[in-house]
Amino acid sequence: MDPLGIKGTYLFNPRVHGDQRGSFHEWFRDDRLREHLGHGLNLAQANCSVSARGVLRGVHFADVPPGQAKYVTCLRGAILDVVVDLRVGSPTFAQWEGVRLDEESRACLYVAEGVGHAFMALSDDTMVVYLCSEPYAPGREHGVHPLDPELGIEWPAGIEPALSAKDAQAPTLEEAHDAGLLPTYQDCLDHYTKLGHPR
């Protein structure tokens, strides 16, 4: 697993074994995750979404603690997967990083609690699956508008973004900050320590 520029995010490129029959790969290994995080992923929920080209989901995050860590991969098609540091006080606060996940590379992305997550489908009938450390809890779930100019996420040119009504009405980063919705970096660090993650 390779760390990205935002603390708590990792990219995993599995070895894909292929022959005339098809392919096989291990897309999740708890022991390898533990090597990097100091703890495993508490598997509480598994999600699957199918999206048309241009569908943009996120930027989503949950209250910390307990937050919701995610382990994401794209089984069919391709996505631009984006992580956003929403942790107030973090050295990389308000910064984002994007990686392509697709059916060829079979790459996977780990997103720690408190880090915002979003993705855009780059092809029709794109299927994304992700494992979650906590179940969905509407009262703890929040979003930041993915097209907020302050974030400045560079979504692919030439693709018209299609947002859900909920995501289209999400607050800007400044509005979410002023409303006290964003997690603090210190709360996240304390939570990571309780999980066993080295600081």
pLDDT confidence tier of residue 15, bands split at 50, 70 and 90: confident
Cα 48 from Cα 128, distance rounded (Å): 6
Is 130 labeled as catalytic in the residue annotation? yes
Q: What does the pLDDT read at residue 37?
A: 87
Q: How many domains does the chain have?
A: 1
**CA–CA separation, 26 vs 42, rounded Å?**
18
Q: pLDDT of 166-191, one tens digit each?
A: 999 999 999 999 999 999 999 999 99
In the chain, what percentage of residues exceed pLDDT 90? 88
Cis preceding linkage at 88, omega within 30: no
What is the DSSP code string of 135-195?
---GGGEEE--TT-TTT---PPTT---B--HHHHTPPPHHHHHHTT-SPBHHHHHHHHHHH
Q: Which residue among the candidates 10, 60, 191, 197 is catalytic per the annotation? A: 60
Query: Which is the catalytic residue, given 10, 71, 110, 130?
Result: 130
**Known catalytic membership, residue 60:** yes
| 47 Rama class: left (phi>0) / alpha (psi -120 to 50) / beta | beta
Query: What residue numbers bound the domain in which 111 lies?
Result: 2-196
pLDDT at site 74? 98
Average pLDDT over residues 108-133: 98
Asked if the model's pLDDT at residue 197 lies above 80, the reply is no
Question: Counting beta carbons within 10 angstroms of the beta carbon of residue 184, is it exposed (0 to 12), middle (13 to 18) or buried (19 or more)?
Answer: middle
Q: What is the CATH number of the domain that holds 131?
A: 2.60.120.10
| Contact status, residue 112 vs residue 189, Cβ threshold 8 Å | no
Integer Cα distance of 18 and 30 in angstroms = 23
Question: What does the pLDDT read at residue 36?
Answer: 85
Cα angle vertex 66, ends 63, 67, to 5°?
50
